[in-house]
C-alpha cells in the first residue's frame, strides 16, 4: 500500500525517556477504516508509544516519523496534533480541580473546531452524549476527573472522543478499570465511531475488549519493538498462550 | 438620652487615635514584608460629601432593584439591591438618627481588635463615605446586594458596616474598582483604603465577598473585621486582582458558640504587584469553627505574603480552626512568604495550619493540550482553576464571569507593560 493511502503511518520510531531508549523502532501503517490492536505485557512500551504519538514533551523522539493524513506531525505540539484530529484516550486521565467538565468540554471543542460553540449547541451535544453513555447530568458540574472512579474517567474519555470526532483515535487501555457492563457500553460507543474515514489504534493487555471492537490487525509489542503482527487470531493466541511464545519466536 | 452626635464623636476619637499612633512600625511582623512608604495620610484632600445622598430608582435598568449612590469628586459608592423592601436597607452612617444608637455603639470608633491599627483609625476618622447595610431579623434576601466603590481620581477612603440580624440570610458582593486610570496628584500615587465591619447575629447566614481590581499605580490598604454570633455562618472571600501594593489586615472573630467563619483570601500577582494578607482568626467562644484558605498565584516579579494567626483563648473548648495557604508560582522571579502561627491556650481543640507551593503541573498542561487547547490557554485555565474556589463565591453571575475573564486576561498579559480593564 502506498504512503498516500495511509491515514496514520509510524516509521522506525525510536523514543527515549530520560535518556533511556524505550521504543526501538516502531512501524505501523493504519489505513482509513482500519482498527489495529496493539497488545503487550506491562512495561513493553505501549503507553510510551501512545504519549509519544500525542506529543508528550517528556518523551524524546530520537528517530523516525509520524505521519497523519499525509502530514508529518513529529514536530507539532500536542494541541496542534489534536487540531489535526488525533485523539488519545488516556489510561490515567489527569484531574484538574477547579475546572468543571462542562467548561473543559466547551474549551476543547472550540479549540479543535477553531470557532466559538454556542452554549445552546453545546448543551444539545452534551445532552445527547451523556444519555448515550449513561452519564448523569450532575457530572458536568464536577471538576475534571477529580474524585472520579476509574469507570467514570473512561466514560468521560469516551464522551470527549465522541464530541471531538477525531480522524485517528489512540485508545490506551480504555478497557482497564471497567466492569463487564461498562466495558460493553464503552466498546459499543467506540465501535459506533468506526467509519471508512477513521482509524483506530487500540492498546490493550487483554483480548476481552476485542470481543466487542473487532480489529483488522493485531500487533504484539515486546521490549519496545513490534514482535508479531497478524490478524485477530493473534489476540486469541495471546489469550490462550500468553506473551512468552512471541519472545521465543522473535 | 440618645446621643445624636455619637457618630461624629467617634470620628473625632478615631482621628485623634490615628494621630497618637504615630508612624508604622516597619519592623513589626505585619509590615516586615510590605513597604507602605508611598501611602500618604495627609497629602490627599479628603473631599467629604456626606449630604449628597442620591436615592435613585433604577427600576427601568434593573427591575425591582434600587440604587443608593454617594459621590464626591474623588470617589463614589453605589449600593444595588432590593433595598427598599423593608427587609434590607442601606444608610449613610452620617445620616443615622438616634434610633440607631445601639448599632452605632456596636460599630464604635473602630473595632476593638483594630484599635491599634493606624489605617483603621485613619479611615474611621477621615472616610469620605460611610455606608451601613442592615438586614432585618429573619429576612431572607434572595438577590445579592452589590456594593461598588469607585475611585474617580486619587483617593478612595470608604467605610462599610454590615449588620445581618438574627436569623437573616443574605449575600453581599463588594467591588473596589476605578472609573478611569487615576492620575498621580502632584506625584502622589492614588490610594484606596477601606474599613469593613461585618456583624452576623445569631443564627444568621451571610455570604460576603470583597474584590479589589485597581490599576498598577494604586496602593490599597484594606481593613476588615468580621464577627459571628451564636450559630451564625459567614462564608466569603477577599480577592485581590490589582494595585501595585495591597495590604490586608483581616480579623475574623468567632464570638458566638457554634459559629462558623469560612473565608478564602486570594491574590493573583503579575508584573511587580505585591499583596500581603494578615489574617487573625480568634475563637473566644466554645465549639466554633473557622477555616481560612489563602490562594496565591504569582507570576513575573510579583510577591505574596501571608501572615496567619489562630488564637484560641482559655475557656473556649471545641474550637476547630484551619489556616491553609496554597500557592502557584509561575515565574522564577516571583516570591511567596507564608507564616502561619498558632496561639492555643486551651485543651480539646482541633487546629491545623500548613502551606504548599507548586508550579503548573506539566501533566495537567499536557492533558489540556492533548484536547486541542493551546499551551497559553491551558496555562490560563489552570490559573483560573486555582483562583476559582474564591471567584466561585461571587454570588452575582455577571460579576463572577467578569472577574474570571480578568484572571485569564491577567495571565495572558503578564510580562506586558500595560494593564487592561474590561
Complex ipTM: 0.95
pLDDT higher than 90, residue B129: no
With H, G, I as helix, E, B as strand and everything else as coil, classify residue B297: strand
What is the greatest pairwise CA distance in chain A?
A: 58
Instruction: Write out the residues of chain B at the interface with chain A, using a CB-CB cutoff of 8 A.
Output: 361-364, 366-375, 377-378, 381-382, 384-389
Confidence band for A12, pLDDT divided at 50, 70 and 90: very high
Looking at the complex, does the CB of residue A2 fall below 8 Å from at least one CB of chain B?
Answer: no
Where do we find the cell 467563619?
B261
Using a CB-CB cut-off of 8 Å, the residues of chain B touching A111 are 371-374, 377
Q: Higher model confidence: residue B67 or residue B373?
A: B373
How large is the average pLDDT for residues A69-93? Answer: 96
Structure confidence by residue, pLDDT tens digits, B264-281: 999 999 999 999 999 999
- Better-scored residue on pLDDT, A49 or A186: A49
Interface mutation target, options B297, B371, B383, chain A, most CBs of A under 10 Å? B371
In angstroms, the CA B274 to CA A222 distance is: 55
Least Cα distance to B395 among B142, B100, B29 occurs for B142
Res B422: pLDDT? 30
Residue B61 has a pLDDT of 36
Q: What is the pLDDT of residue B73?
A: 64
B39 and B115 Cβ atoms separated by less than 8 Å: no
Looking at residue A22, its pLDDT comes to 96
> Could you read off the pLDDT of B91-112 as tens digits, one per residue?
766 666 666 788 888 889 999 9
pLDDT at res. B46: 55
Q: Do B374 and A98 touch (CB under 8 A)?
A: no
Encode pLDDT of B216-255 as tens digits.
889 999 999 999 999 999 999 999 999 999 999 999 999 9
DSSP string, A134-184: T--GGGGGSEETTT--HHHHHHHHHHHHHHH--SEEEEESTTTT--HHHHH
pLDDT tens, position by position, B349-385: 999 999 999 999 999 999 999 999 999 999 999 999 9
Q: B196: closest CA among B253, B251, B118, B254?
A: B251
User: Which burial class, exposed, middle or buried, applies to A233 when counting CB atoms under 10 A from its CB (0-12, 13-18, 19+)?
Assistant: exposed
Q: Confidence class of residue A168 from pLDDT cuts 50, 70 and 90?
A: very high
Is the confidence at residue B283, as pLDDT, over 90? Answer: yes
Q: How confident is the model at residue B189 (pLDDT cuts 50, 70, 90)?
A: confident
A111 with B371: Cβ contact below 8 A: yes
Q: CA-CA distance, A216 to A74, in Å (whole number)?
A: 26
Average pLDDT on A150-173 reads: 93
Q: Provide Rg for chain A, Cα atoms.
A: 18
Closest CA in chain B for residue A103:
B381
CA–CA gap between residue A19 and residue B57 (Å, rounded): 71
Asked if residue B193 has pLDDT above 80, the reply is yes
Burial (Cβ within 10 Å: 0-12, 13-18, ≥19) of residue B242: buried
What angle, 0 to 180 degrees and rounded to 10, lies between the N-to-C axes of helices B6-21 and B118-126? 140
C-alpha grid cell for residue B323?
A: 489556616
Among A76, A78, A161, A169, most B C-beta atoms within 10 A, so best to mutate, is: A78
Chain A: give the shortest CA distance to residue B211, in Å.
Answer: 19
Residue B387: list chain A partners with CB under 8 A. Answer: 98
Report how far apart, in Å, the C-alpha atoms of B51 and of each of B48, B55, B95, B130, B150 are. Answer: 9, 12, 8, 12, 18
What pLDDT shows up at residue B208? 98
Ramachandran assignment for A155, one of left (phi > 0), alpha (psi -120 to 50 degrees), beta (any other):
alpha
Per cent of chain B over pLDDT 70 is 82
Residue A104: its chain B contacts at CB < 8 A? 368, 371, 381
Question: pLDDT tens digits, residue range A108-129?
Answer: 999 999 999 998 999 999 998 8
Contact flag A96-B381 (C-beta cutoff 8 Å): yes
Residues of A in contact with B386 (CB under 8 A): 98
Does A76 contact B at CB distance below 8 Å? no
Asked if the model's pLDDT at residue B49 lies above 50, the reply is no
A interface test, pick of B358, B360, B367, B389 with most A CB neighbours within 10 Å:
B367
What is the structure's pLDDT at B377?
Answer: 92
CA-CA distance, B53 to B203, in Å (whole number)? 33
Sorted by sequence, the CB contacts under 8 Å of residue B143 that are 6+ apart come out as B64, B65, B81, B82
At B54, the pLDDT band (50, 70, 90 cuts) reads: very low
Examine the pLDDT at A10 and tell me if it is beyond 60.
yes
Q: Which of B20-24, B236-240, B297-301 has the lowest mean pLDDT?
A: B20-24
DSSP string, B322-369: EEEEEEEE-STT-EEEEEEEEEE-SSS-EEEEEEEEE---HHHHHHHH
How high is the pLDDT of residue B183?
Answer: 59
CA B172 to chain A, closest CA, distance in angstroms equals: 23
Which residues between 111 and 170 in chain A have a beta carbon less than 8 angstroms from any beta carbon of chain B?
111-112, 143, 160, 164
CA distance A239 to chain B (A): 32
Find chain A residues with C-beta within 8 A of B373's C-beta: 79, 107-108, 111
Q: In Å, how far from its chain's centre is CA B422?
A: 21
Flag if A98 and B377 touch (Cβ within 8 Å). no
The alpha carbon dihedral of A73, A79, A85, A87 has a sign of positive
What is the four-CA torsion angle of A47, A48, A54, A60, rounded to 10 degrees? 170
User: Do B381 and A97 lie within an 8 Å CB cutoff?
Assistant: no
Count of pairs with CB atoms under 8 A, one residue in A, one in B:
77
CA angle B13–B19–B23, rounded 5-degree value: 140
Angle, alpha carbons B344-B345-B348 (nearest 5°): 80
In this prediction, what percent of chain B has a pLDDT beyond 90?
A: 56
User: Coil, strand, or helix at residue B70?
Assistant: strand
Amino acid at each position: 500500500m502506498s504512503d498516500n493511502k495511509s491515514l496514520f503511518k509510524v516509521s522506525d520510531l525510536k523514543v527515549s525517556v530520560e535518556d533511556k531508549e524505550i521504543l526501538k523502532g516502531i512501524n505501523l501503517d493504519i489505513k482509513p477504516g482500519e482498527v489495529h490492536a496493539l497488545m503487550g505485557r506491562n512495561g513493553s512500551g505501549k503507553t510510551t508509544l501512545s504519549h509519544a504519538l500525542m506529543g508528550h514533551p517528556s518523551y524524546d523522539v530520537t528517530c523516525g516519523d509520524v505521519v497523519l493524513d499525509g502530514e508529518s506531525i513529529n514536530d507539532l505540539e500536542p494541541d496542534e496534533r489534536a487540531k489535526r484530529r488525533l485523539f488519545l484516550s488516556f489510561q490515567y486521565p489527569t484531574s484538574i480541580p477547579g475546572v468543571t467538565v462542562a467548561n473543559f468540554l466547551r474549551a476543547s471543542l472550540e479549540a479543535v473546531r477553531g470557532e466559538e460553540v454556542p452554549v445552546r449547541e453545546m448543551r444539545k451535544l452534551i445532552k445527547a452524549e451523556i444519555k448515550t453513555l449513561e452519564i448523569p447530568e450532575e457530572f458536568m458540574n464536577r471538576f475534571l476527573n477529580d474524585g472520579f472512579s476509574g469507570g467514570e474517567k473512561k466514560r468521560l474519555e469516551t464522551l470527549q472522543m465522541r464530541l471531538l470526532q477525531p480522524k485517528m483515535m489512540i485508545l490506551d487501555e480504555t478497557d482497564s478499570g471497567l466492569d463487564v457492563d461498562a466495558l460493553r457500553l464503552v466498546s459499543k460507543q467506540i465501535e459506533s465511531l468506526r467509519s471508512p474515514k477513521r482509524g483506530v489504534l487500540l492498546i490493550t493487555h487483554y483480548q476481552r475488549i476485542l470481543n466487542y471492537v473487532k480489529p483488522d490487525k493485531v500487533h504484539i509489542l515486546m521490549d519496545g519493538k513490534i514482535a508479531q503482527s497478524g490478524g485477530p487470531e493473534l489476540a486469541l493466541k495471546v489469550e490462550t498462550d500468553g506473551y512468552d511464545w512471541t519472545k521465543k519466536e522473535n | 438620652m440618645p446621643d445624636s452626635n455619637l457618630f461624629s464623636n467617634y470620628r473625632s476619637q478615631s482621628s485623634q487615635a490615628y494621630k497618637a499612633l504615630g508612624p508604622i512600625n516597619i519592623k513589626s511582623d505585619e509590615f516586615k514584608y510590605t513597604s507602605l512608604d508611598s501611602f500618604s495620610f495627609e497629602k490627599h484632600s479628603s473631599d467629604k460629601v456626606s449630604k449628597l445622598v442620591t436615592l435613585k430608582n433604577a427600576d427601568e435598568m434593573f427591575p425591582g432593584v434600587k440604587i443608593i449612590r454617594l459621590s464626591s469628586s474623588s470617589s463614589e459608592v453605589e449600593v444595588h439591591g432590593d433595598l427598599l423592601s423593608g427587609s434590607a436597607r442601606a444608610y449613610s452612617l452620617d445620616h443615622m438618627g438616634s434610633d440607631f444608637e445601639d448599632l452605632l455603639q456596636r460599630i464604635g470608633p473602630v473595632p476593638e481588635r483594630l484599635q491599634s491599627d493606624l489605617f483603621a483609625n485613619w479611615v474611621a476618622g477621615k472616610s469620605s463615605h460611610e455606608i451601613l447595610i442592615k438586614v432585618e431579623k429573619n429576612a431572607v434576601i434572595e438577590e445579592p446586594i452589590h456594593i461598588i466603590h469607585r475611585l474617580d481620581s486619587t483617593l478612595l477612603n470608604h467605610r462599610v458596616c454590615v449588620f445581618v440580624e438574627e436569623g437573616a440570610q443574605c449575600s453581599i458582593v463588594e467591588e473596589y474598582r476605578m472609573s478611569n486610570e487615576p492620575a498621580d496628584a502632584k506625584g502622589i500615587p492614588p490610594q484606596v483604603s477601606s474599613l469593613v465591619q461585618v456583624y452576623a447575629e445569631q443564627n444568621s447566614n451571610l455570604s460576603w465577598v470583597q474584590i479589589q481590581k485597581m490599576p498598577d499605580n494604586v496602593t490599597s490598604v484594606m481593613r476588615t473585621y468580621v464577627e459571628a454570633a451564636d450559630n451564625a455562618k459567614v462564608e466569603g472571600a477577599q480577592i485581590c486582582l490589582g494595585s501595585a501594593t495591597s495590604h490586608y489586615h483581616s480579623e475574623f472573630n468567632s464570638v458566638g458558640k457554634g459559629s462558623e467563619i469560612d473565608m478564602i483570601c486570594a491574590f493573583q500577582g503579575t508584573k511587580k504587584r505585591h499583596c500581603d494578607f494578615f489574617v487573625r482568626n480568634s475563637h473566644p467562644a466554645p465549639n466554633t469553627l473557622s477555616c481560612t484558605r489563602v490562594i496565591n498565584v504569582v507570576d513575573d516579579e510579583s510577591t505574596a505574603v501571608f501572615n496567619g494567626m489562630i488564637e484560641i483563648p482559655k475557656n473556649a473548648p471545641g474550637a476547630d480552626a484551619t489556616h491553609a495557604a496554597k500557592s502557584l508560582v509561575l515565574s522564577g522571579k516571583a516570591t511567596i512568604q507564608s507564616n502561619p502561627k498558632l496561639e492555643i491556650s486551651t485543651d480539646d481543640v482541633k487546629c491545623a495550619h500548613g502551606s504548599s507551593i507548586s508550579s503548573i503541573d506539566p501533566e495537567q498542561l499536557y492533558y489540556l493540550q492533548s484536547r486541542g487547547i493551546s499551551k497559553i490557554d491551558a496555562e490560563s485555565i489552570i490559573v483560573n482553576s486555582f483562583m476559582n474556589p474564591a471567584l466561585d463565591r461571587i454570588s452575582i453571575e455577571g460579576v463572577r464571569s467578569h472577574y474570571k475573564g480578568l484572571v485569564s486576561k491577567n495571565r495572558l498579559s503578564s510580562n506586558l507593560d500595560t494593564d487592561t480593564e474590561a
